[in-house]
Amino acid sequence: MKPIKKQSFSITNHNTTGLCLFLISLFLNFSTLYSQNEKSQDTTNFIYYPDKIMVRANLSTQSDNYLLNNKKGANLDLETNNSYKLFLSVDYKFIGFSYGFYPKFFGGNKDEDLKGKSTFSDYNFRFFLGRWLQTVNYSKTKGYYVANMSEFDPTWVEGKDPYIQFPDFKTLQLGMSTSYIFNPKFSLKSITTFTEWQKKSAGSFVPSLIYSYNTIRSKSDDIDGKQKEFDLRLAAGYYYNFIINKRFYVASHLSPSLGVKFMKDKSIDSGVETIEKDTYFTRNLDGGLKMGYNSDRILFGASLNFSVSSYNQDKSTVISNDKIFGLLYCGYRFDAPNFIAKPVEKIDGKIKM
């Protein structure tokens, strides 16, 4: 088994200001090219909310952990010290933004003296351009501990003895995805951003191209490691939204994908530098079941999701990251203020000319 290289996805010192300027530029270009053409009145298949801003709070039980499976020895389970993630979202017409973090008031970073401190931040932008969906995501996670201590130290006592901690185990990720919705009678917005509501049950094949750049940074004693990864995968997703009594829905999706991972690993152990380059084939399966209620103003619901990913590092070692988590959400629609609505209306008028 290779030494632990603090495997967390990270991006090498990306400038936040530069990222924001890039996204603002992206927004302005998309606004000009793909101004929303939704009408105020309902259609046969959809209810539109073109003048409403959707705000939501999503509470997720998703955890961050990495499992190193070694067929010749003990597995290594690395986890962050948190119980929940909170995401605050704002969506208007075809653009949306969300920010995620560990909420301390829901039990984040319990038992810091035993497990250490973990931090998490996530920024997500999404653009619906007709039947195309483009997402941009940046996330950072820091601080892990060895959850399966009993497998390494038989004398270790849970709740009394500290876990092995990796406070400088840091992951950053810049990821993007491009998706296409084949069925024009299916609204992906109705189960993701909720800026539309689907009136009739429908489903659609939604293939996606997913690409991300990650940097994994780890430090401990005499070991200093940095791992850079570029992942590219193609997902064959299918979504179905079942409408019940106009206001309730049950939606499911399943998205298997295959891809390739290009990895460069640079480590310094006791002053000796080692560089390794590898290419791996990856396997992923994502899915979930969501249900909820929608009215013209308020909405709420819950979902159960899973994510399975793995690749073979060598003949005896499999790197996997499997997650099953629940999510509760509630949201409210309100009229867009004039300082937001008027510029968009001017853009619409110029394009119609």
pLDDT of residue 8: 33
pLDDT in tens, 90-102: 998 888 999 999 9
pLDDT of residue 230: 94
Instruction: Please tell me the distance from the alpha carbon of residue 62 to that of residue 56, in angstroms, as a whole number.
Output: 18
Q: Give the number of other Cβ atoms within 10 Å of residue 271's Cβ.
A: 7
Distance of CA 37 to the CA centre of its chain: 28
pLDDT of residue 345: 66
- Per-residue pLDDT 10s for the chain (353 aa) are 343 433 333 333 344 444 445 444 544 444 444 444 444 456 788 999 988 999 999 999 888 877 766 556 667 788 888 888 999 999 988 889 999 999 887 655 678 888 889 999 999 999 998 899 999 999 999 998 988 888 888 889 888 889 988 888 888 999 999 999 999 999 999 999 999 999 999 999 999 999 999 998 877 666 677 889 999 999 999 999 999 998 999 999 999 999 999 988 887 766 677 888 889 999 999 999 999 999 999 999 999 999 988 888 777 667 777 788 999 999 999 998 887 777 766 654 554 43
Is residue 233 within 8 Å of 11, Cβ to Cβ? no
pLDDT of residue 93: 83
Is residue 185 within 8 Å of 43, Cβ to Cβ? no
pLDDT of residue 19: 45
pLDDT of residue 41: 52
Instruction: Please tell me the distance from the alpha carbon of residue 117 to that of residue 163, in angstroms, as a whole number.
Output: 12
pLDDT of residue 15: 44
Instruction: Please tell me the distance from the alpha carbon of residue 282 to that of residue 229, in angstroms, as a whole number.
Output: 12
pLDDT of residue 12: 35
| Amino acid (one-letter) located at 243 | I
pLDDT of residue 352: 44
Instruction: Please tell me the distance from the alpha carbon of residue 223 to that of residue 225, in angstroms, as a whole number.
Output: 6
Q: Helices marked H in the chain — which ranges?
A: 16-33, 112-115, 338-352
pLDDT of residue 232: 96
Output the CA angle 136-171-192, nearest 5 degrees: 35
3-state secondary structure at position 112? helix
Instruction: Please tell me the distance from the alpha carbon of residue 224 to that of residue 308, in angstroms, as a whole number.
Output: 29
Pairing of β 65-70 and β 76-79: antiparallel
Instruction: Please tell me the distance from the alpha carbon of residue 10 to that of residue 121, in angstroms, as a whole number.
Output: 12
CB neighbour list of residue 29: distance below 8 Å, 6 or more residues apart: none
Instruction: Please tell me the distance from the alpha carbon of residue 157 to that of residue 145, in angstroms, as a whole number.
Output: 15
pLDDT in tens, 61-82: 888 877 766 556 667 788 888 8
C-alpha distances out from residue 251 to 134, 139, 288, 292, 327, Å: 21, 27, 8, 9, 14
H or E, element range at 305: strand 298-312
pLDDT of residue 238: 98
